[in-house]
Amino acid sequence: MGVIQACAALDQICLTPMEADDLHTIAHLGRHREIFQHVPQIPQPFDAHAWCSKAIDNGENYVRHIVRVGPARVPVGYVQICRRNNCDLELGYWLGKDYWGNGIGFAAAGAALVLFVTAGGQPKIFAATTPDNVASRRILTKLGFKETNLSEPPEGMIDHMWEP
């Protein structure tokens, strides 16, 4: 399976493939330190250029999409499905701080799963959260993820698994 270049639209959100031109959007959305407090894989301070380059250059980052909302398709965050170091698939997402608490994370993560499965993706998908990231744990539960110990999450994180 290659990188999915398709867009997805579900109700309030639209996912569009991330391109190099999205660097300034990602930098703007990631400007608040609190955004990555529960994402130990993203070093601080956030280096949008290095992060975007890594995401775009990773051929096993199958879904790497900007999350957009409304008729104007305002960019509000990012969602991906990629391979972990142990080759398991992993869902990851983050939103600009101004967009927290509006159901966008749930919609974006759900749209990424639909996009992946529609493109032929079959394997189990994992997602890791810190124990105190109540919002993400709630999103994963609503999407049908179950806590598991079948993979290797980053240190100090709780793993969840979803099977299409």
> What's residue 37's pLDDT?
87
Q: Is the pTM of this model over 0.85?
A: yes
Parts of the chain with a pLDDT under 50: none
pLDDT at 5: 61
Domain ranges of the chain: 8-121
3-state SS of the chain?
Answer: CCCCCCCEEECCEEEEECCHHHHHHHHHHCCCHHHHCCCCCCCCCCCHHHHHHHHHHCCCEEEEEEEEECCCCEEEEEEEEEECCCCCEEEEEEECHHHCCCCHHHHHHHHHHHHHHHCCCCCCEEEEECCCCHHHHHHHHHCCCEEECCCCCCCCCEEEEECC
CATH topology classification for 8-121: Aminopeptidase (3.40.630)
- Percent over 90 (pLDDT), the chain: 70
Predicted local distance difference test score (pLDDT) of residue 117:
92
